[in-house]
Structure 1
Amino acid sequence: MGNNVGSAGERRVVITGVGVSAPGGVGAKAFWDLLTDGRTATRRISAFDPSPFRSQVAAEVDFDPELAGLTPQEIRRMDRAAQFAVVTAREAVTDSGLAFEALDPRRTGVTIGSAVGATMGLDQEYRTVSDDGRLELVDHTYAVPHLYNFMVPSSFATEVAWAVGAEGPATVVSTGCTSGLDAVGYAADLVREGTADVMIAGASDAPISPITVACFDAIKATTPRNDDPEHASRPFDASRNGFVLGEGAAVFVLEELNSARARGARVYAEVAGYATRSNAFHMTGLRPDGKEMAEAIRVALHEARMNPTDIDYINAHGSGTKQNDRHETAAFKRSLGDHAYRTPVSSIKSMVGHSLGAIGAIEVAASALAMVHDVVPPTANLHTPDPECDLDYVPLTARDQLTDAVLSVGSGFGGFQSAIVLADPEREQR
């Protein structure tokens, strides 16, 4: 492997548009301001009364679909997660500067990731048709007319495709908490192989509902630190005791590098390498050696034609559970060797929570913006590092640093382990 990203005659894929709907603010600028300020958007759950639950905190998006530009019919038709996806895709399209009406719609595709689909819509509709659980035999006549859309997550890709006029490949990727990374990686592959010229790719989840909170309560994965929501998410800290549930979306415009250059587009980053692996081990457990994540990192670096020493920053999964933080710390050491100790690592989940399938895409957005601004976002609430997590986790405060290549990783229930490498296509000139 050398230091060159891509090779002559190869289709290289770049991000030219970014849209984000995240806790703390809707829009990529508000999102980046939150991260670089080191502010947290975690709070007591307001979407419903959380008092019966073990974990009562979450990172919610202050989102008004009407103010975001959705029509009353769109709001009625779409679950909250689908609304996130459409609004965020529109931001990415506008940001890209592409004239979508001039594109061949058959060469424009959509890939959206989601772990739990229309959870909020299904939860609400069940409460309605069952009269808040009192009816054993539900009355379907009370259901929203578009209930079927809530049952099939493929509707997310359909809604985004309609919004942008895409008639090419349209797919929903659902691989748990790596869905966002996998959706972007898959979309990049479609552009790279020539199946599509432009892809709208990202992920959306809105899981903050009683059923989701109850499920994570049952396995004690979420934090019970209800008395201090702002400091409840503590990745890599010795006092961490579970993750904070979140919601949101991030969507990107991906296109071929030469095409982007020809139209004078702003390029955020090249999607230089991607890989995913499964540990075939346990539904929720992780091997402590990080072997499968390390393998995904190795293959992503190989695809990017990069060495471990080329990585300037690692955007960690960093969920704030004891086993995950130790697992990926081991994976970084295993895949990057001594360079792991010299590379800043941070978890934005400390600020925006864990939005399940959406978080991988949101972390790709953070990674791309870190490259544009040459700033590494911090790990908030990291005051007492776990001795077993002994890397540079950028505690509390953002750091100015030349950032030309970023590794972002994800780890999901079911054993999914994914890695993506973003690089500045002009980094050798820099």
Structure 2
Amino acid sequence: MEPISISAFASISPLGKTSKEVWNSYLDNDHRISKRDFKNFTEWTASISKEDRKEIENIRNSDNKYKSLDDTVLFAIYASRKAVKDANWTTGDDFGINIGSSRGATALFEKFHEEFLETGTSSTLSSPTTTLGNISSWIAHDLKSSGPEISHSITCSTALHSLLNGVAWIQAGMCDKFIVGGSEAPLTDFTIAQMKALKVYSKETEGNPCKAFDLEKTKNTMVLGEGAAVVCLENEISDKTIAKIEGVGYATEVLKHNTSVTADAECFQKSMKMACKHINLDEIDAIVMHAPGTIKGDSSEVNAIHKVFCNKIPFLTTNKWKIGHTFGASGLLNLELGLLMLQHQKVIEVPFAMKQTPPKQIKKVLVNAVGFGGNAVTVLLSL
């Protein structure tokens, strides 16, 4: 593939709403996870700040039509507006949009379903506000774009699958620009209960609740977070280019169980090799891992990295110990970390992980994501 230009990126998450805020958040050793009260329990979650929540409410109240939208849509509108502005794209351009979500408008869906069980009737807007295409179509409306708009759900690798799709459209010559990413607002009673039922949710009472990349943990420590992240892709490398997408990889492995992954994460081995097929593996300086904070999830990815890179392991990091697992948005928040490390020429260490020697220079970074269904995606970033 020809390198694809990343001309802008933006996000809103527990780390902040600007690149400066996000990077400063990465520079400290504090997580952004706290206890939150739900109807039937109290659990660890990572929420966007009260201050940043005001930005979302401002969008909600800016248009009467937006008042009925789910947070997944509003998060994505916020990030997309900022990214398009930073990329100097013009409102009304024919850029493509592909913003995905794993759970979608789950808060609204749960609300409408509860109303139906109580009354036997459904609210008027229950269908259009909970459909899967809801995110990209509203962003297209908000940005007045005239290009293709696509939404999908491929579990926790959704955002990087969005990126794959944007790359494919540009490489095919069907579009010159694409905004891609993921958005997730999963901090609801039912979603948390589902993760607890899988016995993967953190029960930690002291220290950091999410021990992502702690290979010595004896309990699952996954925590859910919320947020959205997007990047602007262009077909030409220019003075606007922040970084390049030099390679992409993807793979799906045969499952033994609905949530399983092989001990050596064969899907990650294949996706990483595919992303790096045109370079020497020694050129990779760092890997932003998926690392969900579960025993098998973390160890299988590290095992896959050792299988692929043998004795020359790049610097390994993850962000889920800080912001939890944001499901369909997590891959793009991983990519954001990779971009920031390239920009600032500094790796981010996980405080309770094994000690590693930081690279002297960061030129190439791999970014991983995988979801239920054994679907892995790897993206190769370079300066």
Shorter-normalised TM-score: what interval?
Answer: over 0.9
* Aligned equivalents of 1:139, 1:173: Cα separation in 2: 28
Unmatched tracts of structure 1, length 5 or more:
1-5, 386-391, 425-430
Q: Which residue of 1 aligns with 2:126?
A: 147
Aligned to 1:234: 211
- Equivalent of residue 28 in structure 2, options 10, 32, 37: 37
Tell me: CA distance 1:95–1:245, structure 2 relative to 1, closer, same or farther (3 Å).
same
Give the C-alpha shift of residue 189 in structure 1.
1.9
Task: Summarize the Cα distance change of 1:322–1:49 in structure 2 as closer, same or farther, 3 Å threshold.
Answer: same
Query: Residue in 2 aligned with 1:412?
Result: 371
One-letter code aligned to 2:21: A
Structure 2 residue aligned with 1:209 = 188
State how far apart, in whole Å, the 1-side matches of 2:266 and 2:324 are.
Answer: 26
Contact 1:113 1:179 in 2 (8 A): yes
Q: Give the C-alpha shift of residue 415 in structure 1.
A: 1.1
Identify which range, 234-243 or 87-96, moves more after superposition: 234-243
RMSD: 2.0
Give the drift of 1:70: 5.4
| Percent of residue pairs identical | 23
| Structure 2 equivalent of residue 176 of structure 1 | 155
Write the deviation string for residues 47-83 of structure 1: whole angstroms up to 9, x where unpaired.
Answer: x3462x6xx1011112222345751424413101111
How far, CA to CA, are the matches of 1:153 and 1:408 in structure 2? Answer: 25
Instruction: Tell me whether 197-206 or 165-174 shows the greater mean CA deviation.
Output: 165-174
Are positions 1:366 and 2:337 aligned together?
Answer: yes
Q: Whole-Å Cα distance in 2 between the matches of residues 327 and 422 of structure 1?
A: 23
Report if the CA contact (8 A) 1:45-1:60 is conserved: no
Structure 2 counterpart SS, 1:328? helix
Q: Deviations over 1:396-428 (max 9, x none)?
A: xxx68521110011121111111111111xxxx
Out of 252, 273, 283, the position equivalent to 2:247 is 273
Structure-2 separation of matches of 1:311 and 1:297: 11
The match for 1:86 among 77, 86, 110 is 77
AA paired with 1:43? Answer: S
Letter in 2 for 1:378: E
Correspondence for 2:120 among 138, 145, 163: 138
> Counterpart of 2:143?
164
- Check if 1:336 corresponds to 2:336: no
Q: Partners of 2:154 and 2:208 in 1: how far apart?
A: 29
3-state DSSP of counterpart to 1:150: coil
Question: TM-score, with normalisation over the residues of structure 1?
Answer: 0.83
Which one-letter code corresponds to 2:242 in the other structure? Y
Counterpart AA for 2:330:
I
1:51-130 correspondence to structure 2 within 5 Å:
51=41, 56-62=43-49, 63-64=53-54, 65-67=56-58, 71-101=62-92, 103=93, 105=94, 108-130=95-117
Can you list the C-alpha shifts for 1:239-285, whole angstroms capped at 9, x where unaligned? 35221111111011110224xx2xx42x2211111121111213111
Give the Cα–Cα distance (whole angstroms) in 2 for the partners of residues 285 and 248 of structure 1: 26
- Matching of residues 394-413 of structure 1 within 5 Å: 401-413=360-372
Counterpart position of 1:423: 382
| Secondary structure, aligned partner of 2:186 | coil
Amino acid paired to 2:379: I
Work out the CA distance in 1 between the residues paired with 2:29 and 2:296: 24
- Unaligned 5+ residue runs, structure 2? none
Q: Is 2:168 aligned against 1:197? A: no
Matched, 1:354 2:333: no
